[in-house]
Every structure is written in C-alpha cells, then in structure tokens.
A and B are shown apart, each in its own frame.
Chain A
Amino acid sequence: MFLLLFLLIPILAAIALLFIKKEQYVNAVAIAAGLFTLLAAVNIIMNKTVSFDATWLPVLNSRFVLQADGVAKILILLTAISFPAIFIATGKNQTHQKNIFLALMLLTQAGLMGVFLAGDALLFYFFWELALIPVYFLCSIWGGEKRIAVTFKFFIYTFLGSLFMLIGIILLYTNTLDHSFAIESLKHANVTPGQSASAFALFFIAFAIKMPIFPLHTWQPDAYEQSPTAVTMVLSAVMVKMGLYGIIRWLMPLFPDAFLAHANIVVILSVIGILYASFIAIRQDDLKRLIAYSSIAHIGLMSAALFTNIQIGVQGALVQLFSHGINVLGLWIIADIIEQQTGTRSMKALGGLAKKQPTLAILLVGFSFANIALPLTNAFVGEFLMFNSLFQFNPYIAAAAGVSVILAAVYTLNMVQKVAYGEISSAVNNMQAVNKNAQAVLIVLIVVVFFTGVYPQPLFDLTADTLKQLFVK
C-alpha cells in the first residue's frame, strides 16, 4: 500500500492545483507535495523491499504491481529529491498559469515514479507514456522560441520508441504460458531465439532513444535548450534515467542471450557517443547545449558499462544513476539563475561571475568538478567502477572512452573560465543578489555531492539486491 503514496501524493496535489489560483499558495502546494514524497522515499529506503499488487485489467490479465528493489529505490530517491529541489530553486521564476505548469510537473513525477515501480510490463508502458505526455504540454506551451518544432520532434521520436516497446511487450505477452505481463512470466515466454531478438530490439530502441544512445540523440540538445529550465531539469536529471532503468529492469533479465549477443555493438556505439558528444561540447557557446552534450557523454558511459554485463560496471552505473542526476541538477539550477538574471546563455557574453557573485561561482566550480568526476566527488566512484568494467570488456575500448576524461576537463574548464573568471561582463553586471532558496538548494546538493563522494557505501548497499538478482543465478 505504501508504494501507492508515490503516485497518489503527486496526482492529488496536481488535481488540487487546478483549483488554486493564488500564486503564493500554488508553489507552496507543489513544494509540500514534493517534500512529502521525499519523506516517503526516505522511508522505503530505510525499509526492506516492499511491493503492492492489485487487480487492474483483468481482461488482459495485467495486474497493478508495484515493487521497489535497489535500482527502483535509488531512482525513486533521485526523483523525490529532484522535484522539490526544482520547485524550490525555480519557484521565483515568472511563469504564466503557474498552477497548470506545476500540476503537469507533478503528473510527470507520478509517471516517473510509476515507471520505476511498475512490476507489470503493461503498467510500465502505461506509466512510460504518462511521464511523456505532460512533458509534451510543458515544452510546447512554456518552451522557448522554437518550441513547437522541437517539441514535435522530441515527442514523435520518443513516442515512436515507446510504440516499438509496446509491440515488443505484446510480442512476448502473446507467447507467455499464462498470458500475463508479469516480469517472471515474460522471462519464461515461449519464444524462438529470433523472436526474442526482435523483442529485444524493439525494447532496446525505446530505451536507446530515451537515454539517448548515439546516433539517436539529436532530439535531446534541442529539447533541453527549448524547454523551460524546470522541465529541462526533469528531463536530464531523471527522465533520461528511464532508458537506463529499462535496460536494468527489463532488457537484462528478459533477454540475457540477445543482450550478450548485442553487447559489442552497443558498447561501441555508446563509446562513439561519449567521444562524439564530448567533442561537440567543446565547441558549444550556449550554456544549456553544453550541459546537454556533456550529459549525453555521461549517459553514454553508463549505457556502455551496463552492456559490458560485468558486475563491477553495473554496480558503477547503479550508483551513477543517482550521482549524475544530482550533478546535472546542480548545473542546471546555476545555468537557470544565470539565464534568468543576465538574460543570456551565451558564454561569450558572460564572465566575471566570481567577482560579482562569489558564492554562486564557488558552487559552479564545485559542480563542474563533480561533472568531470574529480575524486571525492560523487561521480568519481561510479565512473571509476564503470571504466573498470569497460577495461575488462576490452582495454582498447576503455582507453578510447578514457579520452573523454580529458575532453570533459577541456569543455568544463572552458565553461568555468568563460562564465566565472575574467573581468565582470556587462551581462553579469546586471545580476542581483541570488535568490536564497535556490542557493540553499544548491548547498544541499553540493553537500550530497561530497558526502556520497567520500562515503559512497550507502549507495552500494542500497543497490546490492538488484546486483545480486542480475548476477547471482
């Protein structure tokens, strides 16, 4: 029953928001809902695996199964941290029809929670789409200038992916012995190797687009750039994790043979993506696009590590799911503050932040070094383990991917130099005192960055059961 809270709190709050018009209450309701969800998340982390099971669509024999093991818990925690953080940090931004905006955000949260909790394939698909649809409205109504074209591309692209997945689900479902969407039944579906490979490919496309894996990534920088920053934060901190989560929850257990058979090609594509995105990030002038490409590179490493199918790398990826979310969230919040106050995202026009806003500059430097996985920041542990698995998979591939360690330093330090250092530029000179709430959120996040960087063991312990399921046969 408890797991239902993760769906009910955001949905009920979203409904309530439709009837609240007063600006000051609107934000308070969203933040309160977010914090309650966070409390609930902390609660399930402290406890053992819990699950919930109810009848849903008896005709199809699909059940409303929710379950939370390690990988689900760590992503629920990330989601539960991200939303209130976003609400608090961007609460002062001018947004028309804010109650609708926040209601849609909360619906997205419910969809994401559902994705991470669903133990039934049809239910998973349902939430997968539920998470996408509010985002479509958020981007196309509140987005930037080119929002219509960009959102359309984003929507069609990811929607297409989900359709493939649906076909894949049905393909397996029709061949299950007991006509059920439960993971266990799908796992033992009576399919030929060819069918299994097809179903694998159908699932994979959906996840690959979502993450995204090179060369299916071009929707992402555009979408990140054009979405309102609050939505960008959701997209890159949490939503991309849907694809990675899908690999861990569905792809690895359902198609062990096809997974291994395609490991080479996916690892290689992922590594190409890492280098490709890193190189492009070097040439970005737009702060948001830079973070977007940097994020593609980081996600590429995670997908490569998962597909090595080596325990140490999967462990790294599980931890990194969380850490990457915290880090990009921090970077986006800073980028948003800069854009809101200077009116530009062009790094050429920025500069001198360290002189004008020392605290913000220090935070920017902190998150930047987390972004390049400096030891004792949270990203180091995950990346270290993931590179280890890549090395065991193939030393040459690991060395190639390792070049991104250098490239990341290049584009991140370029960014720091252009934004934070130098004399105060006219754009930065316009900045007012930074909103205390946003600053408080950043400080909390940076504490998380260093705490989990120095002492990551709780994250390992949290995800240990998932790892055991995957690797102890």
Chain B
Amino acid sequence: MKIIIAFIILWPFAGFLFNGLGRNFWSKKTIAYKATGYIVASFVFSILAFLHVQTNGAATVHYFDFINTTTLKIPFEFKVDALSSLFLLVITGVGSLIHLYSTAYMKDEDAPHYARYFAYLNLFIFSMLLLVLGNNYVIMFIGWEGVGLCSYLLIGYWFTNATYNYAAKKAFIMNRIGDLGFLLAIFWIIFKLGTVSYDSVLTAQSLAKLSSTDITAITLLLFVGAMGKSAQIPLFTWLPDAMAGPTPVSALIHAATMVTAGIYMITRSNILFSASEITQNVVAIIGISTALLAATIAIKQNDIKKVLAYSTVSQLGYMFLGLGVGAYSGAVFHVITHAFFKALLFLGAGSVIHAMHHEQDIRKMGGLKSKLPITHITFLIGCIAIAGVPPFSGFFSKDEILAAAFAKNPIYWALGVLGAAMTAFYMFRLYATTFLGQFRGTHDQEHHLHESPFAMTLPLILLAVASAIAGAIGVPELMGGHHWLSQQLIPILGEAKEVHLSHETEWILMGISVSIAVVALLIAVSVYRKKADAAPQTTLGNFLYNKWYIDELYENAIVNPLNKFAGFLKHVIEKNIIDGAVNGTGKLVQYSARQIRLIQSGQVGTYILFMVLSIILMFLFWFNDLSILTFLFKLTHKS
C-alpha cells in the first residue's frame, strides 16, 4: 500500500518537475504525452488503491515525520479509506480526461507556456491528492493551500492580462481569508487535544474532552475555511472571476475538484459537525442561501462560463445544505455526480468557445446544434443531469439532499426546490440560447464553425456517459436499490440515520420537485428557442445582471476603507507621528546641545550622554526604583 500511495502522489509531481524544469527543452508532443500519461498512471494506481480498500479495508501509511518536537508531532501520513479512495478516483479520473482535453484545447500556446500550463495542472493534481489523502489536518492544509496556489497560477495563466491577474489575486486572497479560519481551527484542536491526526481527533474520546463551545468554535472555523475554498457566502465572489483561466482549468479546478474540498473536509470531520447543532444550522442556512443567491444571478448572465460558474456556486450551496442537515453521503454523492456533469458542461463550453474563436457571449451564438453535434448532445445530457431529471445522475444526488432537508425542516426543502427550478431554467436558457435557433454571430465566425478534435470530444463523450449513469451508485431503497455509496461510507459516517420519511411522502416530494424542474426547463426552452435575452430592462433584472452589486459592496465597504487606513498609517502615523517623534527627539537634543555648547563643546558624545540621562530619568519614573541611581553613584565614585 505504501508503494501504491507513493505512486499515486508522485506521478503528478514527477509530471510537474518534468514539464516545469524542462519547459524550454521538450516538444509539445512530449509535454502532452508526459503530462497526461502521468495522471493516467496515477489514475491506474488509484484504482488499485480503491480495490485494495474494497477487499482489505482502510489503510494508513506513514512516510516520515513532518514536525516532531517534544510538544507536537505531525507525521507525513496518508489514509486511504472509502471516502478518500472515492475522491482519488474522481480527481485522477476526471483529471485524466481534462488533461487529455487540454492537449488539444491549448495547442496554440508556445511550447514553454504549454509546458508551464501542464506543470501547473500536474501540480494541482498533486496538491489535491495531498488534500484528500492526508491523515491529519495539517497535511490537508498543505494540500488546501497548494490547490489555492495552483488555482492562482492557472487563473493568471495569461499573465500579461491585468484583469486576469487581478482575478487570480482575488481568488488567492479570498481563499486566504478562509484559510485563516481553517488555521485557527487547527490551533484550537492542537491546544485542546495536542494532536491533529484524524485517528485521535475524530473519536468519541476526543469529543468528550471538548466542551460544546470548543466544538462549535472549531467547526465554525473549519467552515470558514470551507466557505473560502468552496465559494460560499460571503466568500464566493472569487469563483466567477476565476473563469479568467483557460476553460479546462475551470472544469477541473473551479468545478469538479478543488471547490469540493470544503465538502470533503466537513464530511471527514462529520463527527465534530454532527456534535454541534449551531454549526449545522449555520452550514445549512449558508448553503441554501448561496444556492439561491447564485441561481438568481445565473439567470441573467450572458457569458457562457459565468453562467456555469454561478451554477457551480449554487450546486456547492446544495452540497452544504446536505452537510448541514446531516446528509453527508448525499453531499458526497452530489460531489461525484456534479464532478461529472459540471466538468462535462465546462468542457462543452470550452468546445463551443473553441469553435467560436474565443467568443463567450451566448447572445452572439445560437443554432450551434447542427455545427457541433457531439458537443451539442453531450452538453444537453449535462443540462438534463444538472436539472435533476430522472434517471440522470443529478436527480438521484439532488433528491437525496432534498429529502434529508425536508426531514430536517420543510422550509429548507421548499427553498431547495425553488433553487432546483431556477437551475433547470437557467441551464436550459443557456442551452437554448447557445444551441437552438439561428446563428447570431458574425459571418466570419459562422464560416469557421467546426466540431472539436477527437482529443476534446472523447472526454465529452465519456463524461456524458458518466453523467447519465452515475446515479446508479446511489439508487435509494425506495426504488429498490441498495445505495452502494452510503453502504461504502458507513465506516466514516456511521450507520445512516438519515431520512425518516414514509415512502409515500418521498414519492410525493420527488414528484413535486421533478415536475417543477421540468416545467421550468420547458419554459426556458420555449422562451429562448428563438431569441437571446435582451439587455435587462427592469430594476430587478439589472440587479441580478449586476450580481446583486456584491463586488461593489465589498469594494466600497471593505477594500477601499482598508486601503485608506493603510495610507493613513503610512502617511500620517508612520511619517509624522512615530518617525516625527524620533526625529523630534534628535532635534531637541541637538537644540539643547547647542545651548549647552555655551559651557561645553557640543560633540556628538555629549548629546548621546544627555539622551542616556533623560531616558534614565524616565526609568526612574517608570520603575519607581532608586537602585539604578545608587548604582550610577557607585560607578562614578569608583572611577
């Protein structure tokens, strides 16, 4: 096992070194083969690890001690169990497809930049694997910040563009705000328990050592970390801007894998989260609010990637709703299905953008159905899956979350269904505007429309298949299934104690949510089949189009005041007050020295002496102790 895990992690790292250090030497073909091949190799070893867990159960492997001092020991240790092995498969599996897709999508880049791109992408996979494999919170944090770094580097991949750089910086800084929460949680855990290993923290004994305040504080702080990484209110605004990166990056990092790290973290810590009612409510409320907020914004966006980005934020909100109501396996289920259909949708969008010569505005598209047949079909499957139409995968995972939400509080459910309706609406608005009706772009663009090469369509096809059938891993008992996934997760989550609804209620809830979603998608198709959205006319339209003005709010309420404050410190406090006092003291001494020059020579030494004396006097007041005086007296009398 030790060797298998080492290979899983080291293949991507080898790819990073190979392409990073050799960026000026290799041909693009070599770069592409190596980068993709290493991730596929990692995927193969992940399958081995997965099978190992299936037959032999979870395993822990220890490599070396990262920190080993008398007071704290943090080993470099990995854990493969049902949860992490599933994430391994998703990360390296979807990762492989996206690497393959990238080889064609990025082909116009020069070799050194091509290598740089793949080096970053490989480094990302490496960091993400550390995040999910680590057997303690510090290793998780290493991966956590590592993926943040790669996200930063990839968003700003086209580094000559100032807007992209700004987006990259924004992503990193917002993530860091969350990271501070995560760090404080780790400090708290170390303070109270003296260890960060899951094996000792996530046990009933540890739980008994923590007061309820401790647990609530730790889980809330961990959740702050999750808010940053998984783009929840109030730290979500970086994710839509992150679309500045190349589209495959959006698919892999900003949809399928990295942004789900927060869900992984909370699922991993489920024993802590379940122990705090307050935190659970906070998670659920933030989750459903984010889901709704992002969905309303997505309805009015015209950039194909922006729609998908807000949709991601919204879907992540659902996952947090699931976590908040205790449906951990439902949330993980949705992570997996979402990874497939959202990667699919983003890659489909990339294929469209590729065909449209970097046009991203859906108002200038339309009628792409016949020109891009594979992209069209696969994209449609993605839309159906995310809209929650049975029997596609999104239906099962979303339904599981909604059912659990209903059991906890019917209001959560009602809001969730509202969000689902909006999801179906904006996704089919996107689909209809892009693929149906007449082409609205330039003649030149129309002339060049073409289906993408095989390296791009193959991932689309595979992901479409996965999006269609992945629901099979979690067919509920209601429909005669065994829910393989929640069986898998029992060692981590304990016996499922989730939904206590009668079958009848469940069928009714399901019927309502599915029919509302279907109605919403039909409305969307009928409205946008012929024409694109015009510029927003109503106040509400404008408000949504401008994303609730949240970026402006942050800018004016937080960023600018802090900047002014920093300027005040620099120009007023530092320059005039502190340094002014220092220079003033100097001048005062100089001045006194000039006066005293009448009786003395006025040398540098003199005023140093006076400074010394004056400070000694200060000390006398300070410590109210005459010993220093007697001491000086003695000193002068001896000499």
Contacts and interface: CB of A to CB of B under 8 A. Distances in A.
Interface stretch (A122-130, A300-308, A329-337, A418-426): A418-426
Given A198-B623, A376-B146, A413 B173 contact: yes
B271 interface: no
B608 A374 contact: no
A391 B184 contact: yes
B68 A457 contact: yes
B190 interface: yes
Contacts of B567: 283
Contacts of A170: 635
Given A171-B631, A312-B71, A405-B179, A422 B162 contact: yes
A422 B162 CA distance: 6
Contacts of B65: 457
Interface string A329-355: 000000000000000000000001011
Contacts of A7: none
B222 to A, nearest CB: 15
Contact of B67 (A191, A413, A460): A460
Given A157-B582, A192-B627, A409-B172, A276 B615 contact: no
Given A283-B566, A392-B191, A405-B179, A410 B173 contact: yes
A374 B149 contact: yes
A463 B191 CA distance: 23
B612 A163 contact: yes
A356 B484 CA distance: 55
B172 A315 contact: no
Interface in A362-385: 369, 374-376, 381, 384-385
A16 B578 CA distance: 43
A156 B608 contact: yes
A163 B615 CA distance: 11
Given A160-B611, A312-B72, A423-B160, A375 B67 contact: no
B272 to A, nearest CB: 18
A356 to B, nearest CB: 11
A280 B184 contact: no
A460 B69 contact: yes
B627 A398 contact: no
A446 to B, nearest CB: 12
Contacts of B68: 457, 460
Contacts of A219: 582
B67 A420 contact: no
A227 to B, nearest CB: 18
B454 interface: no
A260 interface: no
Interface residues of A, number: 69
Contacts of A315: 69, 71
Interface string B180-213: 1001100110110000000000000000000000
B559 to A, nearest CB: 10
A170 to B, nearest CB: 7
B563 interface: yes
A358 interface: yes
A391 B221 CA distance: 14
Residue from B138, B146, B579, B627 whose CB has the most chain A CB atoms within 10 Å: B627
B511 interface: no
Contact of B70 (A191, A283, A311, A414): A311
A399 interface: yes
A311 B169 contact: no
A406 B619 contact: no
Contact of A311 (B67, B71, B578): B71
A388 B142 CA distance: 16
Contacts of A451: none
A352 B161 CA distance: 10
Contacts of B72: 312, 385, 388
Interface string B57-86: 000000011111111100000000000000
Interface string B600-639: 0000000010011001000100111101100100110000
A398 B184 contact: yes
A194 B627 contact: yes
B554 interface: no
Interface in B156-186: 156, 159-160, 162, 165-166, 169, 172-173, 176-177, 179-180, 183-184
A441 interface: no
B563 A409 contact: no
B612 A385 contact: no
A256 interface: no
B478 interface: no
Contact of A163 (B159, B583, B608): B608
B216 to A, nearest CB: 14
B565 A413 contact: no
Nearest to A420: B159
B188 A395 contact: yes
Nearest to A278: B566
Contact of B64 (A312, A398, A413, A455): A455
A153 B582 contact: yes
A464 B70 CA distance: 9
Nearest to A276: B569
A330 to B, nearest CB: 17
B570 A280 contact: yes
Residue from A194, A406, A421 whose CB has the most chain B CB atoms within 10 Å: A421
Interface in B570-595: 570, 573-574, 578-579, 582-583, 586
Contacts of B619: 198, 201
A385 B69 CA distance: 10
Contacts of A385: 67, 69, 72
Residue from A392, A409, A456 whose CB has the most chain B CB atoms within 10 Å: A409
Contact of A456 (B66, B172, B183): B66
The 9 closest A-B pairs by CB, nearest first: A194-B625, A391-B187, A375-B142, A218-B579, A279-B566, A421-B159, A195-B627, A409-B176, A283-B570
Given A352-B160, A388-B191, A406-B176, 4 more contacts: A197-B623, A218-B582, A311-B70, A385-B69
22 contacts: A163-B612, A195-B628, A201-B619, A219-B582, A279-B562, A280-B574, A282-B566, A284-B570, A311-B71, A374-B146, A375-B142, A375-B145, A376-B146, A384-B183, A388-B190, A395-B187, A413-B172, A414-B169, A421-B160, A422-B165, A456-B67, A464-B69
